[in-house]
Structure 1
Amino acid sequence: MDFDAASRGGDPNRFGTDAFYAALGRAFVAMCAVIPVLFAIEALDVWLAANFDVTVGIIPWDIQGLDGVFFGHFLHDGFDHLYGNSMPLILLGTFVLAAGARRFLFSTLVIMFISGLGVWFTGLPNTVVVGASGVVFGYLGLLLMRGIVERNWWNFAVVLLVGLLNGWQLIGILPTDARISWQGHLFGFLGGIVAAILFRRRRPRHDDPYAPESTLSLP
């Protein structure tokens, strides 16, 4: 048996293997399915005139707006806002999800919590913050740090690609006068870094180059 060929075809965490591309394809389909859900939420908000943004968005320093730390990421200030987040969410989310569904879920929860709580503590009072851009920047930070702690160069390639395509958006982590929650972007990015460290894939300690990598044990 050609063990080298078998290893290339069977390791979903090794760039270039058949399993890697299969995982990437499944992740892309799954992320594409998420976007219609977000559009359905926005359409329902408009149709019912429910004003979900104020009801369950993040309202800094207001206890009633604390539930937005979780729910605010699913809401948007109109369809244009959602359109702007959709493509980077699909692109970055695909590569994050391809590394494992459980790691994706736990990493996303960490990013949402740190981003949302950061906005709640540092945002301007009497404002409402909504949108998935904190998660987008979280995935960006996660892939960047994952490339460092796991020494996977293709993670850097993804971050570089996103930087080339949407480099102007990276200034979103800096304070601006625009109606942009730079706090959500910044804390989302930091949340991604934390998630990459917490849920990193550990390399085997022995010298077998084809041994499967182990992952951090999750509850």
Structure 2
Amino acid sequence: MATDQGSTTRHDPLDPAMMIAEARRAFFTVFGFLCVVWALQLVNWLDDTRLAIDYGIRSHDLDYLPNVLSAPFLHVNWQHLEGNSGPLFIFGFLAAYRGVKKFLGLTLLVALTSGAAVWLFERGTVVTVGASGVIYGYFGYVVLRGLFDRNLIDSLIGVVMGASFAYILTTAVPGTPGVSWLGHLGGLLGGLAGAWIFRDRGARRTAAGSSPAPGSAIGRVPGSGAGSVGGAVPPSPRAALLKELDDLGL
């Protein structure tokens, strides 16, 4: 008879309650981000866009280099903000619902890559602000995340979002007039890199077959000889997929 020696409770990342709780945190995090952006635009509007001018990105000017972190929160006018708000919420939520900590790290990464592209290569007479570079970063991350995590659901989401919004890539092409294509391209590249940097390493180790954790069930493995000893056997990819589909009601 198998015995359980000092077993510990292990959290299942596919547990529906955990998934709902993480989605709730993601929703309020992205909603809070949007609230901050809209509040800053109100201040910017009352001050005749002074905030955007002072804290936007000016290329090749070291005094404005720290502004790569403030520029994504600022917009030229209300129309600019309205155009970014919907994509920011959709892609932001999709980027955040697998983990808010990863999302915050991703946001910092794409803000840096987008801002750096503008600071390094934009014309010196231009002041650049707006969340679109961050949006492109979230887009790139969502499209590739499932591939690096080996997660079918996220892969399907990436395919659907990539096919549905592929047209936005036309504004990340060199020479696109009227927009900061440099910021878009820099953010997109940062998001694609973020899909690998913030990949789910734990899931990959489990899939490869890690050694049993201390306190896991030890005893006779079905189908083995009498008295044989075995550790916890990681679930097969097919079993994990079926469980995830079942949790989602599919």
Asked if Structure 1 and Structure 2 have the same fold, meaning a TM-score greater than 0.5 normalized by the shorter chain, the answer is: yes
What's 1:91 paired with? 90
Q: Which amino acid is the alignment partner of residue 168 of structure 1?
A: Y
SS of structure 1 residue aligned to 2:57: coil
What's 1:209 paired with? 235
Q: Retained in 2: the 8 A contact 1:57–1:130? A: yes
Give the superposed CA RMSD.
Answer: 2.4
Q: Retained in 1: the 8 A contact 2:133–2:187? A: yes
Q: Deviations over 1:18-64 (max 9, x none)?
A: 43244223312321222121111011011133611221101112223
- Mean alpha-carbon deviation: is it higher for 188-197 or for 174-183? 174-183
**Alignment pair present for 1:30 and 2:29:** yes
Q: Distance in 2 between matches of 1:24 and 1:145?
A: 19
Q: Distance in 2 between matches of 1:163 and 1:177?
A: 20
**Alignment pair present for 1:153 and 2:152:** yes
Q: Retained in 2: the 8 A contact 1:11–1:20? A: no
Q: Distance in 2 between matches of 1:209 and 1:81?
A: 48
Q: Retained in 2: the 8 A contact 1:60–1:123? A: yes
Q: Which has the higher contact order (CA 8 A, sep 6+)?
A: 2
Q: Distance in 1 between matches of 2:181 and 2:164?
A: 19
What TM-score results when the alignment is normalised by the length of structure 1?
0.82
The alpha carbon displacement at 1:135 in A equals: 0.6
Q: Retained in 2: the 8 A contact 1:57–1:68? A: yes
**Alignment pair present for 1:129 and 2:119:** no
Unaligned runs of 5+ in 2: 1-10, 210-232, 241-250
What's 1:45 paired with? 44
Q: State which structure, 1 or 2, has the greater radius of gyration over its C-alpha atoms.
A: 2
The alpha carbon displacement at 1:101 in A equals: 1.9
Q: Distance in 2 between matches of 1:78 and 1:163?
A: 28
What's 1:75 paired with? 74
Q: Deviations over 1:105-135 (max 9, x none)?
A: 1111111111111111111221011101111
Point out the structure with the larger helix share: 1
Percent pairwise identity: 32
What TM-score results when the alignment is normalised by the length of structure 2?
0.72
The alpha carbon displacement at 1:71 in A equals: 0.8
Q: Retained in 1: the 8 A contact 2:26–2:96? A: yes
Q: Retained in 2: the 8 A contact 1:89–1:136? A: yes
Alignment of 1:52-67 (within 5 A): 52-67=51-66
Q: Distance in 2 between matches of 1:119 and 1:11?
A: 42
SS of structure 2 residue aligned to 1:209: coil
Unaligned runs of 5+ in 1: 1-9, 213-219
Q: Retained in 2: the 8 A contact 1:163–1:170? A: no
The alpha carbon displacement at 1:86 in A equals: 0.8
Distance verdict in 2 for CA 1:135–1:127, change over 3 Å: same
- Mean alpha-carbon deviation: is it higher for 144-153 or for 131-140? 144-153
- Mean alpha-carbon deviation: is it higher for 142-151 or for 181-190? 142-151
What's 1:106 paired with? 105
Q: Distance in 2 between matches of 1:50 and 1:142?
A: 31
Q: Which amino acid is the alignment partner of residue 20 of structure 1?
A: M
Alignment of 1:184-203 (within 5 A): 184-202=183-201, 203=203
- Mean alpha-carbon deviation: is it higher for 28-37 or for 111-120? 28-37
